[in-house]
Amino acid sequence: MIGVIAKPGQEGVAEEFFQLFKTPWEWYRPGSLYDVILSTSDEVPQVNPRLLLLFGVELKTLDTQLGLSVQEHRGHTSLNERNCQIPVYDRFLTFLNGDGVPCVNGELGVSGIKFKWHESTVIRLGYDLFEQARVLLSDGQPVENSGIPALDNHIRALRHWILEAGISVLEVPPSPYGHSFSVCLTHDIDFVGIRKHFLDRTMCGFVYRATVGATKNFFRDRISAAQLLKSWWTVITLPFVYLGWKKDFWEPFGWYGEVERELAATYFLIPFKGRAGERVPAPKASLRATAYDVRELASEIDALQNRGCEIGVHGIDAWNSSEKGREELARIKTLAGSACGIRMHWLLRDAKTPCALEEAGFAYDSTFGYNETVGYRNGTSQVFLPSGAQSLLELPMHIQDGALFYSEKLDLSPAEARTRCQAIIDHVRAFGGVLTLLWHDRSHAPERFWGDFYSQLLQELKVEGPWFATARQLVAWFRKRRQIEFQRVGTDSSRIRVTYDGEEIQPPLTLRIYQPKNDAADASQHIPQLTEFPWNGNRYRELDLNTSYNLIPDSTICSLS
């Protein structure tokens, strides 16, 4: 059990941090025993836990006792903990002297230092953990740090320090039992066919890109000779598409249905034809307006739902108006029945968006992501509660086709894009969480030809054995995980009861116990022993973290051999 002491005003973000690092913790109670005390305040109780983690940029009383001199810095920097990057934002400290062992380093010096203090191990960190979490869960990371899962790395570092102190860790990881991670396939439907665009800007733009643009891409090794010829042929036969004699090559639903066979995806549909939206903070706002009427897609929506897919709202004005959000949600619900999620068109949002979407009646949002790159806008692969929301959860978006391949964005070759995607896959495999993919409606067709990459990516993901689920299913699973509570049994901080009061959790959660091995001469080389088992929430579990584990079938006790 971790005893937490936070500065005034940090209670909410601290609680959210421990929804992500799902491990036993409670607000520090005087007189209670704790193996670990984590504080961002100057308040340090006169007790000797096995591990004291002291975060913050303010000078602490204990700094003088530890013989530390500090230097304050402003601006962004990247720290390193065991070859793990931890960006910090705004203010941070470096420590100029002291007899401790550096454990977090940066370009400007040591920002984390470890001491033995009486009977405790003390780790003094020159940044405020909960302030960093607040920045990541509200503003998010700049593009230059998009490839760093900063919030997940904070969790990993904290787990390492606890284990290095010889303390076992109980955790409910952010992936179902038997799966190292989850995958959410999503599609933003901006176009449903080129027939909707006759002699307009969209059609003319396609003709140019499929001829001149395709030729340039061929000489840049972005498309093959066969794809170049297919682009030209598509332009030549375009009149037959308008006459209805040839299939509309921009129609997305059939192609995705074949490629994603037996995999349910989430489709975000624009609710109103011809609406560009209000207060659009971007140039060429008129281009946001769609040419299709969602009411014309009733049969396609039925077919998608019959194969287990989800229909969500591709919002126009909901990001800044709860009234417009309710209108957009109601339009999709008249066709899909149970829509509850949204992703904003052009990924528009501001600080008030979570509150506006919540008031409009949405259960989740999936807007947090980058238009210009791929990676971790909020530094995590987990579903989380964004700042300003009370119940609306955020499913972060990690990889989108346009960011990978547009010439104005990353402009990657397929090989380069595979390397970028593989780094994100490697992280979710190791840490857990959700990999959220966004592939747009006409990305499979000429002139883009991004369908082959998507098909191959899906095949590679299938080999990894993740849980493929719709956005609604994933958010519901994480919502149940958030309802898990930990209670100490008696006064012993190592005996924990895990409780849940709700519907059965399927697929089941994992209860994971890390036990440190103490047979290495160097504590930093300890490799923890893992014990884990499934739990669907039907019975509470009591665990003793200091024992070996035998799971007794049909018992409420996991313990004590």
**DSSP string of 364-383, one letter each residue:** EE---S-SSS-S-TTS-SS-
pLDDT score for 31? 87
Domain count, the chain: 4
Write the pLDDT tens digit of every residue in 9-68. 999 999 999 999 999 999 999 988 899 999 999 878 878 899 999 999 998 888 888 888
Split at pLDDT 50, 70, 90, the class of 560 is: very low
Q: In this model, does residue 485 exceed pLDDT 90?
A: yes
> Collapsing DSSP states into helix, strand and coil, what is residue 139?
coil
Number of helical H runs and strand E runs in the chain = 16, 27
End-to-end CA distance of the chain: give it in Å, rounded: 22
Instruction: Give the domain extent around 226.
Output: 195-248
| In a shared domain, residues 323 and 440 | yes
Distance CA 227, CA 222 (A): 10
Write the pLDDT tens digit of every residue in 382-408. 999 999 999 999 999 999 999 999 999
Give phi and psi for 315, each to the nearest 5. Answer: -70, 150
Q: In this model, does residue 557 exceed pLDDT 50?
A: no
| In a shared domain, residues 98 and 28 | yes
pLDDT score for 370? 97
| In a shared domain, residues 143 and 228 | no
Q: Give the DSSP letter string of 428-462.
A: HHHH--EEEEE--TTTTSTTT--HHHHHHHHHHHH
Largest CA distance in the chain: 84
Mean pLDDT of 111-125: 92
Distance CA 543, CA 489 (A): 9
| In a shared domain, residues 83 and 158 | yes
Mean pLDDT of 219-227: 92
* Token pair 């995705």 in the structure block, residue: 256
pLDDT score for 301? 96
pTM: 0.93
Bridge-based pairing state of the strands 509-515 and 36-39: unpaired
Mean pLDDT of 181-203: 95
Write the pLDDT tens digit of every residue in 157-177. 999 999 999 999 999 999 999
pLDDT score for 64? 86
* Residue 178 counted as domain residue: no
* Residue 181 counted as domain residue: no
Enumerate the β-bridge partners of residue 439: none
Domain limit, last residue, from 208, 232, 248: 248
pLDDT score for 556? 37
| In a shared domain, residues 98 and 227 | no
414: domain CATH number? 3.20.20.370
| In a shared domain, residues 216 and 277 | no
* Residue 138 φ/ψ region, left for φ over 0, alpha for ψ in the -120 to 50 degree band, beta for the rest: alpha
CB 341 within 8 A of CB 472: yes
* Residue 226 counted as domain residue: yes
Q: Considering the chain, what percentage of its residues have pLDDT values greater than 90?
A: 83
Per residue in 470-501, is it b (16+ CB within 10 Å) or e — as a string? Answer: bbbbbbbbbbbbbebebebeeeebbbbbbebe
- What average pLDDT does the chain have? 92
Q: In this model, does residue 270 exceed pLDDT 80?
A: yes
CB 243 within 8 A of CB 300: no
**Residue 449, C-beta contacts closer than 8 angstroms, at least 6 positions apart:** 223, 227
Distance CA 447, CA 528 (A): 51
> Is there a cis peptide before residue 26, judged by omega within 30 degrees of 0?
no
| In a shared domain, residues 242 and 257 | no
Sign of CA dihedral 318, 320, 323, 324: negative
* Residue 277 counted as domain residue: yes
Mean pLDDT of 298-302: 96
pLDDT score for 489? 87
Angle of the 129-138 helix axis to the 150-164 helix axis, nearest 10: 150
DSSP 59: P
| In a shared domain, residues 463 and 514 | no
